[in-house]
Structure 1
Amino acid sequence: MWDLLSRLLILGLLFTSGVCKDSPDDDIPPTTTIIDILSSNANFSKILLSLQRSDLVDYINELQNVTFLAPLNLAFPDDQFYLDLSQNDVSRHMIDQPVDADDVCGLGVYRTLFVNTSLSPEGVQQPILLDNRDDLFLADNAIVTEQYDVRSSNSVVYGVSSFLERHKSACDFFADIADADPVFAQYQIIARLFSDNEFCATRKITNVTFLVPSDASVGLNKIELTYLNTDEGLEDKTRLLESHAVAGIWGGRLEPVSTKTLANQKIRISSNSEGSNIKVQNTSSTFSNYLLSDGIVHLYDSILLENSVPVFTPRKYLLGLGLTSVVNQLDFHKLSSLIDDRDVNQTIFVTESAESTESKSSLLYHFVDGRVEFDRDELLTTKYCSSSVLGHCQKLKVMKRGDQVSLNNNVFVTSPKIRVGNTYIYYVDEDLTLPLPFQHAVSPFLRCAKSIKLLHDFGLLKFRNNSGLGYTVFLPNADAWRGLDLVLDYLYANRGVMLEILGNLIVNGLIYDDFQGSATLATLLDKPLEVESVSDTLYINGTAVDVSIESEVLFDKGVAHPIERLVFPATVQVGVPELLSTVDGEEFLKVLKLLRLDHLLYEDYSFIVPSSRSMRLENLTSELPNLARLEKFARLHILPAGGMEKVIECNDTVPTLLENVHLSCRELTSGISMLSVREGNDREVRVLRQGLAINCGDTATGILLVDRSVNPDWLSGSRGPIHLHLPFVALLIGVVIGMLLLAVGASCCLVCSVGKQTPVSGETAPLLRAHERLENPTPPNSPPPNETQSYSNYYSTHSSSRPIDVDQP
């Protein structure tokens, strides 16, 4: 631009431009050729010399009905008097018709003699733009000076301030659009589509007017552009580009003309502002008349023709994402309708690489009804609808934790939503597998192995067709079974009751975590089961259970819910008598019957039960004649209504049936509970096991198995001297032992007293007689005379055998 202005200032001092007025030619003598015009004007000396040196004079003289834009000496470098020129260089400055300056008002597009044969065999004459506005006459970027008529050849010569710039071909221009004039910065999309995959060159797009809309108006994103450059998108791409191209070079000052685009769409082209604005239909250009060697470009800020931009469907987006194999599989399984309608309200989950062959069922499991925003935990309905056992479309579990979204607990969403029409597409980190069979679907982390084994042992895991209702399994976890304790022993011993309970856990019908309202369903054993949702809490036969989407298990035939409480059918009754049958409580039951307290087993009472063995070891059975004490013992082991709950809570005041006597509970760090008499000493018993009666009223009743009895002697009134209550046989044995001990003591005293008297022979002699050597020891070197030294002298005189004389040789 600055170069143009500087040239303008210089030429303004030398020449006068023509603006719709007659050129002064009265002083120019008649000439016959263009060469004569150049020769008669010193300002053309360099171009004349260049033509002579390039042997182009004859070529120039042969031309007729042309306009020669002859470069002035100013156009040449200062240190050069001529240039080597080719015929094409000259042809680029030759307009194929004589142009009078009076006829150029505003902008006009003309054709030169230079033929561009790069793409089309027949060639295209390169266009040139003449701009005669604002007291300035321009040919492309060069300033035009005086006009000289060549009357003999009906031609015109103009002086120009510079050589005309070489224009790029359309294909080269679009290929280098990123480096083009900044005015094209917001018009890149259509331009790049022309150059991608050599679209322009392979179709020999030339002699064309390009009507280029802005990127914002086209609105193609990266996925759509990628699709248009695939083999499958070629048809859409061709129609899009041909809708923005018109055969021929239309620009400058135009009379309204009706023509067609290369896509055979009718279009009306006109101009205003002296040809500086090209209108298509009723849309004006934002920039126009950008010349190429074989075309012209006009820019617009809106789409010119309706339906010129392709309608994008899920299929096209999948192709744009590079998921051709998924599209092929959908077509193979005749599921094309899922991706050919942009108005379908759905969500599709895809992986970045899906080359494996998918089954029809697996493909359908990746399609979900509705547009998913992932703003909460929820169950989604997929388009996999089994016609066998599961009579509805399979579900897909969504859990949102912070910014992380998981599907079925182990597949994670890895991309924002990709929207096409009413369809959302999400990337996931791995393929979504169909729900597994029940045994494989339940995770070990849910701790339901015992329930699964019991269901398997009782043959309840064969989910057959149930008229499309599907199955719901309420699956007790390890805590639920552990909490039963003695009840579980009873169930193991009564398989019929166990079967009734297990069958109650499997329901014909589907109950998901989002269940609302109430329903009566049939269990696997054809028993009714009441299900009701109240304030997000699920009640099964009146028992509250916690179900959540997090622990919910989807399997091929339905849904499973791990629960922490075992749900019993109304027909199952496990009372205190049944629980007593599971422990060693015969002696305790015998005491209750003796005292006629056994009727309390069927009322709202709980019992602390010592084993029969411990009662026998503590000789409690010997108290049968002492009914008063025995009743005191029994009542101390019976808890009134509410007492069992206090023990479970390990309360420090637990009432008993014994008046004004309470028990106190203490829990060890190991979790074991210890019971003691609150109004007694500090003796304790250990709670070994417990069992709560089932369906026997609103009050919790049951039994507590303890390691020993709660002794009535531990009460406060029994503190002080220890009183032994021993049976008669034990007392008799004690008397006998006492008499024996007394006799032994008397004998010892007698022996001691007799030993101090003179020894006598016979029956009154002591069993052991002191030897005189022992009574009167003498030195070993002076034995008594005439007495033999012998061991027999120390031996008892009452021995039945004589001693052996060890001194004899």
Structure 2
Amino acid sequence: MIFILWVLIIYSSVLVSGEEVTSSSSSTLTTTSTSTPTPTPTATATSLTTTSVTTSSATTTTTSVTTSVTTSSSSSTSTSTSTSTTTTSTVSLEPIPTPSTIIDVLSSEPEFSYFLRVLQRQGMVPLLNELENVTLLAPINSAFVGTTGIDWENNALKRYVVNQKLLVGNLDKDERVFDTLYKVDKSTYYSIRVRPDLESLEYVIDEVASIVDEDISAKHQYSYIQGIDHLLPIKPTMCQELMNSTNSEISLFTKMFQLLFVDEEMVSEKSKSNKKKKKKKPKKDLPRILPKSCEEFLNGTQTILIPSNELVKQSLSELQLNYYLANDELDTYSSTTDSIDEVRHDIYNLLTNLMFSDLVVGKNGTGESRKSKYGISHKFELQKHHLTVDGVTSNSTHVFSNGAIHIFDANISFFEKLSIPVVEMIPRKALYALHYSNFVEELYFRSLDYLIDGSTAQQTVFLNLEDRDDAEDDDDDDNEITDVDVYISEPSIKSFSSRQNLLYQFVNSSFDLQDDVHILLDTKLCSHKRIGGCYKLKLSASHGTKTVTVNDDVRILNHLKIANDTSIFIANGEILPPTNLKHSLGDLISSGAVYRHLESIEIDRTSCLKTLEYINAFDLYSLDDNNKGYTIFLPCGTTKFKNLWTNLGLVQNYLKNNPKIHQSVMKGLFLEGLVYSDFNSSTKLSSLNGDSVLLEKSSVLETPNSLYYNNTALDVELNSDLLFSQGVIHVINEVLFPDSFEIPIEELIRTTFDSNFPDHFMWDIIKMYPNIHKSIVGKKPYSLLIPTAESLKDFNITTSFKDILKFVDLHLIPNEEVHKLLNCIDDTGYNNSVIRTNFSEGGLVCKHKPNTNKVMLQLHKLNGTSTESYSKDHEVVLLNHGCTKLYTGDNNTDSLSCVFLLQKPLNLEWFNEPKRGDNFLHVHLGWVSVGAGVILGLMLFGGIMVGLVFCLGKREKSSDKDDMESPRADSGFMSVLTDEDEFIPYDRGYETDVDVLRTETDALLPSHMKRKKKIRKPDYGSTTNSINGTNGSTTLPRDIGNIRSTLNRERNIPGY
């Protein structure tokens, strides 16, 4: 009986074991396994065909099973089974109980022994026993190989506990993310990522561990165990990744992210070092307080969209990108705190558009719209296993411990496609991007913020590179000018306040640069009191806009377009408003040219200094404000001959003698009103004299660019304007006279008076003949050729000259002939025709020599019977001239008379026939030729004399003699020669100490007689060096015997 009962128990156990074999009805899988039967509720989308061998200590069974299983989440099972079984079994008397908890399963499987031991040591067993509906990721023993010394913590082990059921049978080809029991922060749990590996046909967790033992059930806890082959490393948080990222693919985004959290101490130091701490007009309050840390900023954020570097560059302009990265070099640029904060706020707005509170990865969170933290909705979808946001497909996904990051690298405008607003490059933000924050602060301080806050359109800003935040500023704070309307006194260079200087850097229009353009722009600096409008700024471009200048001397380095149809130009120098007249003219003289873009208009310094002298003499530097401005035509240009004031000739002398008229002429150069070089119409302006002046211009495209001043054409090149604080200056190469200007002929003649020769004044001679005098000053006047007073004296031309009437007639020229002479002087339109005089027998031919700028008048006999060739003696030099009115070059001289000053008079004797029999060839040499001949003759004579002196005065040099060998000139003793003496001196009749050294056989001959040399023995005993050889070795003294007994007088010998 007992035996039968035991058999029934075993049989029931076998039936239960058979009922717990489960599989999915829609997948096919072939496996061979050996395991302890455990309940495994599943809900799958796979078809399985299973061949199973189940072994216990009581039974050995071979079973072929075809099963259709439907399993619900509550683990209730309905099974229909058709089984054909052949069983050979040996039944054990003691069956093993089925594991029912997570710990039981781990204890029953040897491959989890090491992980179980870790759980026990860390006290995780009680926690696991209390859990339900979880999944334990259990590393098998091989996962611990080589991982000694791991510092396990309770919280770290919770990463292996998924807070929901994770069944491999429920997974598909799309990745998923699951939360664990590990808490990253107060509100966020550690996430793991599970995705299929299509190569190994396994599911991979966090790209590290593969699931090798799937879906092990712990039925009493409604939980599962997934065996994995590697330990799971702790993933960084999104903050750790973004703040310490080494991913070069997203370096621009991470840089922006990091710049949101600027060091507060650095910002505080910037605030303390900022010089301008007050603003007359504070900026608008920024929207919110910025987070101080990444953790604070990403609190509640689980998904971030990140564009790659290339996508950022495609989606943002270069200036926008520079703006977002403007705080990257705060140690280099002395940026203001306002600029730092504003850039941070704009970074904050951009980033919050890319952040989402929900976790969106794979199957998680896709298929619906979700709002960003900025409040804009975006559609998230999963297409072909890739995430798309508003149709933009992500390139890669990275899951971190507290969220996921999606990287996009599509060839599109990312922010525009996702309708994410980016910063608008209004002038203020553009200036921050270019690191001109201190310039912005200065504008706010001067209440000029309206120029850069985006409310002003179609303007251009000119910046000086030296005003950038990285430029050193050595100015003294105490000397800062803060009064907006303070003007510096006239002698000073500065004529405008700081506020006005800033206004001059803004132009009222925006334009596209073109090649070879010269334009005058209206700035925002206006003065109705001074010029009746706004000041101009000159801009020129050439070489395909590679070379751009402002006001001709400041080079533009860069230019760019920004929002509101605004342009920014960066220059390499200061862009200051025009200075006063005196300083502007001083700059003109010092530079010696009017700079015009890449070229310059040279000035004649001599003429210009003379002009400035006259301006100063007539007090024209100080001009009253007239609400119109002034246009000045300045005679400073270069001319072909001499200088422009000298070219006036006798007219200049007349002006010097008449200061009031001279002042009137100078005032005629100053017109009330503004006419710039781009003037292209006609207008009437008044000069300082009150005279009306008509200015006309047909076209600015003419070359040369001509401006007509009362029908006088002036070459005024485009953009050659010289700007000053009250108007504009045009440099011209002639002196302008009013149409009413006229010099009485008598006054013009008086300019030739020479006080050194008062008795030889031509006008006094003319006045002797009333008819001639009347004809000169009458309605049809004559022009005069007047020799210098000195030449009249030399030629003895006085009132008592016998042919004075003929002489005067020869020096009178009818006015209809004068234009020939004037054209010859100007070297324009002259054809060498004869100029008739009032003397019927003689005319003149004018010769202009351009190389010397000399005008010669040559006599031409009108009624001569003999043929006369060119004669050097029959010409005179024209020194100077002047006319009563301005000659316009139109050959019309009926209404004017001229006076021509000659170096010497025209000689009446030139009309006389040569004497009969005088056939001698006359050679006419000029003074230069004569002078050159004299100089050459003197040089030749001097050379001959020097040669004679050297030849005849040369004497042979005597040999140098030692002072001890040659007697002094004043010695009264006779010389005694030695054997080595070459020259024999005169014998003075007495023997001296020197004579002792000479042999008695030497003849007493004059010293200049050279004695014939003879071959001598070796110089034993010689007192001098050898002359027979080259050694000159020292020898012993020669024995001269006892000479004391032969001396006939006392000697001055030491020791005796």
Specify the TM-score bucket, using the shorter chain as the normaliser: 0.7 to 0.9
Residue 654 of structure 2 corresponds to residue 587 of structure 1:
no
Q: Which amino acid aligns with 2:204?
A: L
Question: CA deviation digits over 1:74-103, x for unaligned, max 9?
Answer: 5344x6699664334422222111222343
Which segment drifts farther, 496-505 or 301-310?
Answer: 301-310
The one of 357, 362, 372 equivalent to 1:261 is: 372
1:380 deviates by 1.6
1:64 deviates by 3.5
The whole-number CA distance in structure 1 between the counterparts of 2:784 and 2:53 is 139
Q: Which amino acid aligns with 1:236?
A: D
Match of 1:764 in 2: none
> Any conservation in 2 of the 1:218–1:309 contact (CA below 8 Å)?
no
Question: CA deviation digits over 1:197-238, x for unaligned, max 9?
Answer: 436526341442112243145415343113477212222221
The whole-number CA distance in structure 2 between the counterparts of 1:387 and 1:462 is 18
> Any conservation in 1 of the 2:783–2:812 contact (CA below 8 Å)?
no
- Provide the secondary structure at the position in 2 that maps to 1:315: helix
The one of 188, 197, 205 equivalent to 1:124 is: 188
The whole-number CA distance in structure 2 between the counterparts of 1:720 and 1:223 is 103
Give the structure-2-normalised TM-score: 0.60
1:540 deviates by 0.2
Residue 558 of structure 2 corresponds to residue 415 of structure 1:
yes
> Any conservation in 2 of the 1:49–1:82 contact (CA below 8 Å)?
no
1:405 deviates by 3.1
1:339 deviates by 0.6
The whole-number CA distance in structure 1 between the counterparts of 2:843 and 2:682 is 47
The one of 194, 209, 212 equivalent to 2:306 is: 212
Residue 437 of structure 2 corresponds to residue 324 of structure 1:
yes
The one of 168, 175, 189 equivalent to 1:107 is: 175
Map of 1:189-588 to 2, 5 A cutoff? 189-198=252-261, 201=294, 203-208=296-301, 209-213=303-307, 214-216=311-313, 218-219=315-316, 221=318, 222-227=321-326, 230-253=340-363, 254=365, 256-263=367-374, 265-273=375-383, 276-280=385-389, 282-287=390-395, 289-300=397-408, 301=410, 302-303=414-415, 305-306=418-419, 308-341=421-454, 344-354=457-467, 359-375=498-514, 376-400=517-541, 403-417=546-560, 419-442=562-585, 443-444=588-589, 445=592, 446=603, 447=605, 448-466=608-626, 468-477=627-636, 479-534=643-698, 535=702, 536-549=705-718, 551-574=720-743, 576-584=745-753, 586-587=761-762
Aligned positions, number: 699
1:522 deviates by 1.5
In structure 2, relative to structure 1, the CA distance for the partners of 1:129 and 1:668 (3 Å cut) is closer
1:246 deviates by 1.1
The one of 687, 690, 715 equivalent to 2:881 is: 690
Match of 1:703 in 2: 899
Question: CA deviation digits over 1:413-456, x for unaligned, max 9?
Answer: 23343634422212222322221111111211244333233233
Question: CA deviation digits over 1:251-305, x for unaligned, max 9?
Answer: 2213544443222x1424432237x33344x334323542122221123442264
1:410 deviates by 3.5
The whole-number CA distance in structure 2 between the counterparts of 1:637 and 1:144 is 125
Give the structure-1-normalised TM-score: 0.78
1:634 deviates by 3.2
- Provide the secondary structure at the position in 2 that maps to 1:331: helix
> Any conservation in 2 of the 1:615–1:621 contact (CA below 8 Å)?
yes
The whole-number CA distance in structure 1 between the counterparts of 2:781 and 2:359 is 104
Q: Which amino acid aligns with 2:572?
A: D
- Provide the secondary structure at the position in 1 that maps to 2:653: helix
Match of 1:4 in 2: none
- Provide the secondary structure at the position in 2 that maps to 1:469: coil
1:40 deviates by 3.4
In structure 2, relative to structure 1, the CA distance for the partners of 1:13 and 1:313 (3 Å cut) is farther
In structure 2, relative to structure 1, the CA distance for the partners of 1:574 and 1:720 (3 Å cut) is farther
Aligned-residue RMSD, C-alpha: 3.7
Residue 225 of structure 2 corresponds to residue 157 of structure 1:
yes
Which segment drifts farther, 610-619 or 240-249?
Answer: 610-619
Unmatched segments (≥5 aa) in structure 1: 1-11, 723-809
Match of 2:26 in 1: none
In structure 2, relative to structure 1, the CA distance for the partners of 1:387 and 1:720 (3 Å cut) is farther
In structure 2, relative to structure 1, the CA distance for the partners of 1:459 and 1:313 (3 Å cut) is same
Match of 1:778 in 2: none
The whole-number CA distance in structure 1 between the counterparts of 2:557 and 2:313 is 28
Match of 2:238 in 1: 170
In structure 2, relative to structure 1, the CA distance for the partners of 1:349 and 1:630 (3 Å cut) is closer
> Any conservation in 1 of the 2:353–2:376 contact (CA below 8 Å)?
no
Question: CA deviation digits over 1:639-669, x for unaligned, max 9?
Answer: 5442232244297655232556433526385
Map of 1:82-101 to 2, 5 A cutoff? 85-101=152-168
Q: Which amino acid aligns with 2:822?
A: M
1:702 deviates by 2.6
In structure 2, relative to structure 1, the CA distance for the partners of 1:516 and 1:255 (3 Å cut) is closer
The whole-number CA distance in structure 2 between the counterparts of 1:713 and 1:414 is 74
Q: Which amino acid aligns with 2:913?
A: G
The whole-number CA distance in structure 1 between the counterparts of 2:849 and 2:612 is 33
The whole-number CA distance in structure 1 between the counterparts of 2:148 and 2:650 is 119
Match of 1:677 in 2: 859
The whole-number CA distance in structure 1 between the counterparts of 2:164 and 2:129 is 15
The whole-number CA distance in structure 2 between the counterparts of 1:528 and 1:416 is 44
Relative contact order, higher structure (CA 8 A, sep 6+): 1
- Provide the secondary structure at the position in 2 that maps to 1:568: coil
Unmatched segments (≥5 aa) in structure 2: 1-29, 35-41, 56-96, 262-290, 329-339, 468-472, 481-496, 593-602, 638-642, 754-759, 861-867, 919-1056
In structure 2, relative to structure 1, the CA distance for the partners of 1:202 and 1:553 (3 Å cut) is farther
> Any conservation in 2 of the 1:531–1:539 contact (CA below 8 Å)?
yes
Which segment drifts farther, 33-42 or 565-574?
Answer: 33-42
Match of 2:14 in 1: none
Match of 1:745 in 2: none
Percent sequence identity is: 24
1:171 deviates by 1.8
> Any conservation in 2 of the 1:312–1:342 contact (CA below 8 Å)?
no
Match of 2:20 in 1: none
The whole-number CA distance in structure 1 between the counterparts of 2:634 and 2:229 is 94
Match of 1:798 in 2: none
The whole-number CA distance in structure 1 between the counterparts of 2:915 and 2:541 is 65
> Any conservation in 2 of the 1:436–1:556 contact (CA below 8 Å)?
yes
1:628 deviates by 7.1
